[in-house]
Structures are given as structure tokens and as C-alpha cells.
Chains A and B, each alone.
Chain A
């Protein structure tokens, strides 16, 4: 049963994507550790961490694509699950500091000493165990998504209303985590990490290992997503996206289909957050900022939703642009991001991946000139304008705009 599902997951395209990221997981750390600095091919450590950050973002974008591109749930709060996973990892890293903190307290992190805590709050207990912290990385975002999704989907909240409440959810968490007495370090968040699993977080080899772990996690996420979207459940998810009530009349419990996708996606986002935090060295409430979640939507849209490779490309390309802009023209970055989103929506409805398909179709058409279709009739033109012309549909799943 499981083997058949795995076999289905490893279809033509997914196997390439997985192979590429597994190769990247090996080659980049090797280029960093084995080739001495200054020699051709050496990848500097700062670049390894930067790329690791991008790959963590790519996992987050892929997680969003699973719910948005395939199931039609436009979540504007996915940053919340990412941040919760990040906080769980941050709590583990804080507990590893031990007596090396400014106040030298053996148990309490610095900010707790500063805020006159006498003992650890209950939710910090056990977080010094790596396995327990990793369990929380998966469990906390998963549980929040399950509970939130259970009530939202059961009440049939869809479309823009759902987007708004996901936005409200992440905003509520932002405000909560800003408070000092929440016990998560207030607006400073958690930082000044020292060790992970007994080795220094700053060490070159640790950074290379974290990068490799992120690339492998991305490959596994692609595998899991591919397994889901290529199964019959994946087809039902697309059916829910395109015609929700029709799917209900076929006897599928739409709310459970959505709940499954949403929970799996939140867990993936949480894992991405946990890999992100040790590589950037800080987690603070600004990760809950609704603007962050909206940025994830832009990455996914730019790359191409409803495909597995699209959101990965989108996350990497947009963040490369962000890194470049924020160093050379920092004041223009937000304008560039806004313009990019408008441009994508207007001219690239299927994102970068869609562009590639268009180019390929055009090439094919050029080689077979006699198959050129006749000019559309006025009725068809109207269909094309509304984006409903069947002939203009590619061979990929066809996401409809979120309501």
C-alpha cells in the first residue's frame, strides 16, 4: 500500500527535483568544507547559511502551495506555523546555553532572569531534550492547524473569509508573542544561541550540516507532497479547489480533505521554521507579521502555484532579488515586491513555471505549423479573456483564482 504510494510519488518530474536537492545537500557542504577559501569552487560559509535560509523558505512556499495551489485554501497566515516551529527550535537552543548566558543562570534563559522569573514556565519543561523539542516542532503547528481548520472548515468558511481569519490568527499570535509575560522573550525573541546537539551553532561544519539537513528536508517535502498530489486524495483536493460542493455530492467529506491538507502543510511549515532559526540565529515575534505570510503567497504565485517545483523556484528567486535589493537599493525593495506581484498577476497567471510551459507550447507549434488553430471566434475570445477557454489551459493542473 505504502510502497505503491511511494512509487506513484516518484513520477517523472518529482524524482528530478528530489535528486537535485539531494545532490545539493551533498555538493554545497563539500564545496564549503573541502575546497579551501580562495580556490575556485569554494562556497563561503555565509553563503551556505544564506542558501539554507532560502531552502527553508522554499519548504514554507511548498507547504503553502499544497493548500493553496492544490486545495484552493488561500492561507494568509502560514507564517504563523513557520514561526511556531521556529520558536520550538529556539526554545531548545535557549536551553542549551546553560551557564554561558549573561546572568550565568544554569536553567533560566537570560530574559527570564531579567524579568524576575523564579522558575521555568511549564511549557519550557522538556525543551532541553532535542527529541522533545523536535516533537513540538511538528506537534504545535500541527495541532493549531488541526483545531483552527476543524472549526473553520466544518463551518464552511471559504474563500476570502478564510483568508481573513488566517490573517487574524497570525496577527493575534504576533501580539501575544510581543508580550513579555508570555514567556517567549517578548519583542526581542530568542537569540544568542550557542550549541545544537553539543556542537557550536556558529561552527562552519554545523552550518554546512544545517544546510544539508534543510536540503534533505526540502527533498522529503517534495516527496511527501508528490505522494499526496499524485494519489486519488490529491485529485479530490483539486476537485475541492475547483468545485467544492460538487465534490460533496460525490460523497467526499470536503472538510476532512481540507483539514488533512491544512494540517500536513502546517507541519511542513513548522519544520521549515525549525531549520530556519539556527541558520539565522534569531526568532522573534516579527516572524508572525501578517506581511511575512503575504510574502509567502507572492513567492508561490511568482513561481507558479499548483505545481511542485513552482513555489520552490519562486521562493528562491524572490529571496535572491530581496537580498540583492536590500543591499543595493534598500528603499526600493517593497516597491519592487509590489510591482512583481502586480506583474505576475497580470502577465504570468501561472508563474515562472507557466511561462516555461507557454514557451514550450510555442516551440511545438512552430515545428508543426499546419496544426495552428484558427483565430478564435468572438465567443471564444470572450472565454479567453475570462480565462475560461479550455484550449488555453495547459497540461498542468489549472488553479482557479481564489474567490
Chain B
């Protein structure tokens, strides 16, 4: 029992196979409260599948997935897990394109999700202030009334990060947040994620090594569904197995 108290996310012995192919194989990962973890690894290493397991999209064949040291995530569905306080940003920006930037954030804002409380919801002054604050953080305040479809790729990424902030989760799962961003936007994103990780746990999946370096966090390298190496970025990237399997010659 002692192993998983005081953890925000605890995965142990997790395996899942699709048609006999082991996408995740005896995976063990721990994320502590207010800690950032960067996950790197080659394509097909199981990074996105791992996120699917945590958020309830995929059920593992075996293993333990605990949130906040006690809640068994394998028994819950996506909506229940999201309401526990796990927010996810997708690899491909998944914003609601036929809604305005403002409405995207309003829907994400942490509020009762029931049918009737949603039907009769009216934004309070606090809610408006909070959404405005998030818009400023993700620098979309000038475009708040535009349809999300009209944003650039990088702005959609930021909007999705904004939606994560609006959900006020305890654990953020961020899949390739800087794909399609300029260098300065990438730096800003790293700064923002570091800021967030002071109060919440953050798991970032990313291929961009300079971005991972900017994050300055603990790094896990996945390959073929299990942990290949773990430590600081320097330790991991100096690991001969990692060089051979992922970073290349």
C-alpha cells in the first residue's frame, strides 16, 4: 500500500494488447503531486495509448492505474475521470471549431456538468473574470469572439491549453503541445507549463528535445510499451539503449 500513497498518478504492471500486439507492456510510471514528467519515445512506443488508458478511453488488460493514490481509474469512464480532475490535451488540436474561442473556454470551465445545471447556466462575474484571465494567459483575448476554426494551428494549441486551465484539473496530460508552434511560442509554452507544474501534476509527451530541455523536468523514455530509461534529460539521452532505440546515431 505504501508504494502508491502520496502519488498523483500511479501505474503499475499495466499491459494492453490490440489484436495480440502489446501496445503497453508491464508499464510502471509514478507522478507525484505538483511534479512535471516529460515522456519521450519513438513512434509506436505507446505514449498515446498510455494517455488513453489514464483517461478511460482504453481499458488495460492488466495492471493498476490509481489517481490521487486511491481512485482506481480502470473502473471509470471518460466523463467520470475528467470530473475527478484529469485534463487532457490531444495530439491533434481538438477544439470545437464551430464555437467561438470564448465559448470553448466557457464549456471547459470547471462547473457542474449535469444536464439541467448546464441548461440553466449563466456566467457569473467570477466566471467571466476567470475566462478573461485565461484568455490573457494564452494570448487569445483579442480573438475571443472568433470561431475556433479560424485560429492558426499554434493558436488552437494554445486554446486547448487554455481549456485545460479552465477545467482546473489536478493532473494535466499534454500530448505534443508545441507541434506547429514557432520557436518563441514553444518557449512561451514551456514557461507556461513550468508555471502550471508548481501547483499541479503535469505529464507532457513531446518529440521536440529542446522543448523537453526547457521543461527541465524528470524524463521517461518509452519504447515498445514499457519504460526504457528514466532520469534527467541528460541522463536519459546519454543512456546507450536510448541512443540506439530512439535518438539514433
Chain A residues engaging chain B, CB cutoff 8 angstroms = 1-2, 4-5, 8, 228, 231-233, 235-236, 238-239, 242-243, 245-246, 248-254, 256-257, 260, 390-391, 393, 397-398
Which residues of A sit under 8 angstroms from B99, Cβ to Cβ? 235, 238-239
* A250-B107, A393-B98 known; A228-B119 Cβ under 8 A: yes
Tell me whether B103 and A235 are in contact (CB under 8 A). yes
Nearest opposing residue in chain A for B94, CB measure: A246
Asked if A398 and B98 sit within 8 Å, CB to CB, the answer is yes
Contact B57 A245 (CB under 8 A): yes
Contact with A232, one of B57, B83, B119 (Cβ below 8 angstroms):
B119
Nearest Cβ on chain A to B15's Cβ, whole angstroms: 23
Please name all residues of chain A whose beta carbon is closer than 8 Å to the beta carbon of B72 when the two chains form the complex. Answer: none
* Sample of 16 A–B contacts (CB below 8 Å): A4-B122, A231-B118, A233-B115, A235-B106, A238-B99, A243-B94, A243-B96, A249-B55, A249-B82, A250-B82, A251-B79, A251-B167, A254-B79, A390-B147, A391-B150, A398-B97
Place the interface of chain B in its size category. 20 to 34
Chain A residues near B18 (CB, 8 Å)? Answer: none
Q: How far is the CA of A257 from the CA of B94 in the complex (A)?
A: 20
5 tightest A-B CB contacts, nearest first: A251-B82, A390-B149, A248-B78, A233-B119, A398-B98
Q: Are B106 and A5 in contact (CB under 8 A)?
A: no
- List B contacts of A250 (CB < 8 A): 82, 107-108, 163, 167
Question: How far is the CB of A249 from the nearest CB of chain B, in Å?
Answer: 5
Name which of A236, A239, A249, A398 has the most chain B CB atoms within 10 A of its CB.
Answer: A249
Please report the number of residue pairs spanning A and B whose Cβ atoms sit closer than 8 angstroms.
87
Q: Of B88, B103, B115, B149, which one neighbours A249 at CB under 8 angstroms?
A: B88
In the complex, which residue of chain B has the Cβ closest to the Cβ of A1?
B120
Contact yes or no, A236 B147, CB < 8 A: no
Q: Is the CB of B79 within 8 A of A390?
A: no
Contact residues in A for B90 (Cβ distance below 8 Å): 246
Complex Cα spacing A391 to B147, Å = 10
Residues of B within 8 A of A391 (CB): 150
Known contacts A250-B108, A251-B113, A245 near B98 by CB under 8 Å: no
Give Cα A233 to B167, complex, Å: 17
Residues of A within 8 A of B82 (CB): 248-251
Known: A236-B107, A249-B88, A251-B79. A2 touches B120 (CB 8 A): yes
CB B203 to nearest CB in A, in angstroms, measures: 15
**Contact residue among A233, A257, A393 (Cβ-Cβ distance under 8 Å from B149):** A393
What is the CB-to-nearest-CB distance from A195 to chain B, in angstroms, rounded to a whole number? 39
Contact B120 A239 (CB under 8 A): no
* B79 contacts A393, C-beta separation under 8 Å: no
The reply to whether B83 and A251 form a contact with Cβ atoms under 8 Å apart is yes
| B149 contacts A260, C-beta separation under 8 Å | no
Chain A residue with Cβ nearest B120:
A1
Q: Is the CB of B79 within 8 A of A246?
A: no
Bound-complex Cα distance A5 to B118 (A): 11
- Tell me, in angstroms, the Cα distance from A232 to B123 when the chains sit together: 9
Chain B: CB-nearest residue to A398? B98
CA distance A8 to B115 in the complex (A): 17
**Chain B residue at smallest Cβ distance from A240:** B96
Which B residues touch A4, using CB under 8 A? 120, 122
- Residues of B within 8 Å of A239, CB to CB, are 96, 99, 107
Most interface-central of B96, B149, B150 (chain A CB within 10 A): B96
> With A232-B119, A245-B57, A246-B90 as given contacts, are A252 and B113 in contact (CB-CB < 8 Å)?
yes
Q: Report yes or no: B79 in contact with A235, Cβ–Cβ below 8 A.
A: no
